[in-house]
Structure 1
Amino acid sequence: MITTISNSFLTAQIKHLGAELSSLKDNSNKEYIWNGNPDFWGKHSPVLFPIVGTLKNNSFQYKDAQYQLSRHGFAREMEFELIDKQENKSTFSLVSSPKTKEKYPFDFDLHLIYTLENKSLKIEYKVFNNGETKMPFSIGAHPAFDLPGDFENYSLTFEKEGTLNYYILEDGLISNTTDELHLDKNKLPLNYELFKNDALVFKNIDSKSITILEKSKPFLKVNYTDFPDLGIWTPNAPFICIEPWFGYSDTVDKSGDLFDKEGIQLLEPKAVFHSEFSIEIL
Structure 2
Amino acid sequence: MTQLKNNTYTVGIDAGELVSFVVEGHEFIHQKGSPGWGSSDTEMFPIIGPVNEANFRVKTPKGEPVQDQHGLLRQMPYGLESQTETSAVFAKRYHAGTTVNNSKYPDKSTEPQLVWPYDFVFEKSFQLKDDGLEITFKITGEKGMPFMLGYHPAFKLHSSSPKIVAKDREISLDEVLAVGNRALKVPDCTSITLKDSKQITIETEGFGNFMCWTEVKNMVCIEPISFYPYDVEQSHLHEGFLHLDGTATFKVSLKPGA
- TM-score clears 0.5: yes
Which residue is equivalent to 2:131? 119
Cα drift, residue 125 of structure 1: 0.5
Unaligned stretches of 5+ residues in structure 1: 162-182
Cα drift, residue 85 of structure 1: 0.7
Mapped partners of 2:192, 2:71: distance in 1? 26
Cα distance 1:144–1:274, how it changes in 2: closer, same or farther (>3 A)?
A: same
Q: 1:110 aligns with which of 122, 139, 149?
A: 122
Q: 1:243 aligns with which of 204, 220, 223?
A: 223
2:36·2:215 contact (CA, 8 Å) conserved in 1?
yes
Mapped partners of 1:224, 1:65: distance in 2? 32
Which residue is equivalent to 1:90? 88
Cα distance 1:60–1:263, how it changes in 2: closer, same or farther (>3 A)?
A: closer
1:20·1:47 contact (CA, 8 Å) conserved in 2?
no
| Aligned pairs for 1:85-164 within 5 A | 85-97=83-95, 98-100=98-100, 102-129=114-141, 131=142, 134-150=144-160, 153-158=161-166, 160-161=167-168
State the percentage of identical aligned residues.
25
Cα drift, residue 148 of structure 1: 2.3
Cα drift, residue 251 of structure 1: 4.5
Which residue is equivalent to 1:202? 186
Cα distance 1:3–1:278, how it changes in 2: closer, same or farther (>3 A)?
A: same
Q: 1:279 aligns with which of 236, 242, 254?
A: 254
| Aligned pairs for 1:58-73 within 5 A | 58-62=56-60, 65-73=63-71
Cα drift, residue 255 of structure 1: 4.3
Mapped partners of 1:253, 1:211: distance in 2? 30
1:232·1:243 contact (CA, 8 Å) conserved in 2?
yes
How does the TM-score come out when normalised to structure 2?
0.84
Cα drift, residue 65 of structure 1: 4.5
Mapped partners of 2:89, 2:230: distance in 1? 31
Answering whether residue 201 of structure 2 is matched by residue 221 of structure 1, we say yes
2:57·2:65 contact (CA, 8 Å) conserved in 1?
yes
Unaligned stretches of 5+ residues in structure 2: 101-112
How does the TM-score come out when normalised to structure 1?
0.77
For the residue of structure 1 that corresponds to 2:74, the secondary structure is: helix
Cα distance 1:134–1:191, how it changes in 2: closer, same or farther (>3 A)?
A: closer
Which residue is equivalent to 1:234? 214
Mapped partners of 2:177, 2:91: distance in 1? 34
Mapped partners of 1:84, 1:29: distance in 2? 27
Cα drift, residue 222 of structure 1: 0.8
For the residue of structure 1 that corresponds to 2:240, the secondary structure is: coil
Which residue is equivalent to 1:54? 50
1:123·1:276 contact (CA, 8 Å) conserved in 2?
yes
For the residue of structure 1 that corresponds to 2:25, the secondary structure is: coil
Cα distance 1:126–1:64, how it changes in 2: closer, same or farther (>3 A)?
A: closer
Amino acid at match of 2:11: A
For the residue of structure 1 that corresponds to 2:64, the secondary structure is: strand
Moved over 4 A (4+): 62-65
State the aligned residue count: 239
Q: 1:31 aligns with which of 21, 27, 31?
A: 27
Cα distance 1:280–1:108, how it changes in 2: closer, same or farther (>3 A)?
A: same
2:191·2:202 contact (CA, 8 Å) conserved in 1?
yes
Which residue is equivalent to 1:177? none
1:247·1:262 contact (CA, 8 Å) conserved in 2?
no
